[in-house]
A and B are shown apart, each in its own frame.
Chain A
């Protein structure tokens, strides 16, 4: 604007150039900085428990770590030494049974949810109930299998424990497998159909192989979750101080061993509980990391 315009134009104030720098002493800015500080403190506090748990596991659990743990049976009250080989075997066997049951059913259901009827009423109900089942208390899965299998078979058994774990693993497998299959590009599926595949052939030759990393992620995550469960095993597999003799007998498991030993007043048992915890957490964390590595997007 030059002086000539200024003389004739109505009097307007000079343009205010806003100062975009906020001074730290400005009340709003100060409040914001304080809240940010609080947020950092909250985040730090939230990470303390994990490091504390890991520290205790490594220090107290690692002290007792030795090869004989995997060969020996749990010690009775006043005994020294001993191990938890049968508990490791028991956990692996029951997780294996759970995987055997829940993986086929889970993937089949996920195929239906993702491919064959995504918007149908059956799919909506199925998906909704799977999500409800993910929040199902684990102890109620144990009560349910007790009411069905244990009473029917007349005995606590590793099989019942495996079935209870399968009930807990199933929703995770279904929901993650469905997500993985939905990610398969439409063009690939259309190409298969265009070549004359039946829907089953398309699923087996295109959807499942492409979605395999995601499906595996879900399976491994399910296994990780279920390996650490103990509440369902209280009602189904109970516990045993001996090696696994067959699927129709009660079995030891790492999680129940930790639970039982933690309440005993003996130093030996407490040490073994810590070491068993270390082994269990290592198992679960390895599965978790595996699932992340496999599920890494490769596109």
Chain B
């Protein structure tokens, strides 16, 4: 089976769950490729200033300084997925945007059976038609109710359970068929960063399970109706503060509770 992982910002693609996912897929003896959008350095700089602000400078200075204080502020030394892949001879395709014609050509040339989105930009329809078995995406929210962005935070805001959904990628936003789902258990000590790591770990595990089922032809699909969910957007800082407070003060309904049974992946 030929699989392409799609991500962005190759120089800064550090989250470990992506390397874990890639490593597990290699163990399944798939042929792997990695495709990146936002590859140019200028895109990195613009995004860093826009999304991270001055932390990008602090992180860089921390790496260069030997003082413990500076090191504590530094972005931890990690290897990006792109670098990890290159060291293993895995093809890495770099493009400005997923909509670029040469991006579609490169993907077509790889002849993927499946595309797995791993923190990717929105995929244009032209790319969706290339892999024979389609494209799948890990969504950090329980579909169909929570579509869009910051859905973990929105779920906590509404006192709903949090979790991960693996779904087919369709032209709509998070509206494709649901393949696998798993709620994430929230403990008293959890914060948004720890929950994010739990979601990432669950995503890697569920994606491997989904790939195995797709390859064996045993995957089950559950469709979504448009009116079953709503699209959520980036959460305003004032509302985000309230979500963080709900976790801190224990008022979030699902702290310490067993989450609901869903379309669980194999554990």
* Chains A and B are bound partners: no
Interface residues of B (CB under 8 A from A): none
Interface residues of A (CB under 8 A from B): none
